[in-house]
Amino acid sequence: MGEPSQGDKPLILLMGNVDREGILSTIAESGRWYKRKVLHSMPSNWQSVVNILRQSTVSAALVQLTPLTYRYIVDNDYATVSEHLFEHLAEVPHAVFIHDDLYHGTRDSELSDEIDYPTEVERKSVYALLTKYRVNVVTYQKNFEVTLLAVDFPGHVETGLMLRLYVPNNQLWANETNRLLELFRDFLTRIAKIDVRLDETRTKSGVIYELRGDPSGSVELSDKFQEFSDFMSLCTTDPSKAELILLDKHVSQTKYHPNPDPVCEGSTTPAS
């Protein structure tokens, strides 16, 4: 299958071995177009990837890293272009798929004997680079999972999906998780001034929560949740300081005022 023409369609950049038939078909059928780039290649080709990422036409990027890709990343000839690649990759909606064993340095899966592992030094060097630029890493155990996850990703980008959480009906602290997500949504909209909505889909066995925002926006959700956690802790440890923050943001104090509710008593992490 050849690559479709550009026209006015959003561009999805595919890097590495992520260009599976199911992914290509889904992109084409959705009215987007894609460009494939091989990472097992010369530094000049990596630079061409960087040049594409710098273009405003890139709507999303999907990447799969293998043990061999790890060795390219840590090679001295690729040092500078690797930095630039992940720096600019982080600036667009993206997902980087890495086998769980490779990313965490374990050998727990049935595929572990088939993986030519990089050294621990190489693995940690790549981990540090991904962490430095806050790259969105998605780990997997089976190859088919890459296709399933990648097929959904462009749609998530277009609808501004920031978080999806499934809570079974019998999950411990299920009601508190609901309350926590509502408070987090309220914190994002009224204090952080980020336009988001929280959707709930109820099934017989549980609830699916989806937090959505502006697809064109760029929000580091983990950072915002840390800010939210710090603020909720402040509500109980130093209410007067929390009150000043609310006054500064012109927000009512009632919703966040300390009370016997378990969430407001310091439980700031959703049940897992």
Specify whether domain 11-159 bears CATH 3.40.50.720.
yes
User: Is the model's pLDDT at 265 over the cut of 60?
Assistant: no
Do residues 140 and 150 lie in contact, with contact meaning Cβ atoms separated by under 8 Å? Answer: no
Q: Which band of pLDDT confidence, cut at 50, 70 and 90, is reported for residue 44?
A: very high
Question: Average pLDDT for residues 31-55, to the nearest whole number?
Answer: 89
User: Is the model's pLDDT at 2 over the cut of 60?
Assistant: no
The pLDDT value given to residue 188: 82
What does the alpha-carbon distance between residue 180 and residue 158 come to, in Å, rounded to a whole number?
Answer: 26
100-141 confidence digits (pLDDT tens): 888 888 766 555 555 678 888 999 999 999 999 988 888 888
User: Is the model's pLDDT at 268 over the cut of 60?
Assistant: no
- Which is nearest to 59 in space by CA: 95, 98, 26? 95
Q: Hey, CA dihedral for 133, 139, 143, 148, is it positive or negative?
A: negative
- Which is nearest to 265 in space by CA: 159, 207, 179? 179
Q: Which band of pLDDT confidence, cut at 50, 70 and 90, is reported for residue 269?
A: very low
The pLDDT value given to residue 33: 79
183-235 confidence digits (pLDDT tens): 888 888 888 887 777 877 787 777 777 777 765 555 666 777 788 888 888 88
Question: For the chain, where are the alpha helices, taking DSSP H only?
Answer: 21-29, 43-53, 67-74, 79-89, 100-104, 120-132, 143-159, 174-186, 221-237, 239-248
51-61 confidence digits (pLDDT tens): 999 886 787 88
8-19 confidence digits (pLDDT tens): 567 888 888 887
65-103 confidence digits (pLDDT tens): 999 999 999 999 999 999 999 999 988 888 899 988 888
Do residues 150 and 94 lie in contact, with contact meaning Cβ atoms separated by under 8 Å? Answer: no
The pLDDT value given to residue 109: 53
- Which is nearest to 15 in space by CA: 58, 78, 74? 58
Show me where the domains of the chain are located.
11-159, 161-265
The pLDDT value given to residue 176: 80
The pLDDT value given to residue 8: 59
User: Is the model's pLDDT at 180 over the cut of 90?
Assistant: no
137-166 confidence digits (pLDDT tens): 888 888 888 887 777 666 665 555 666 677
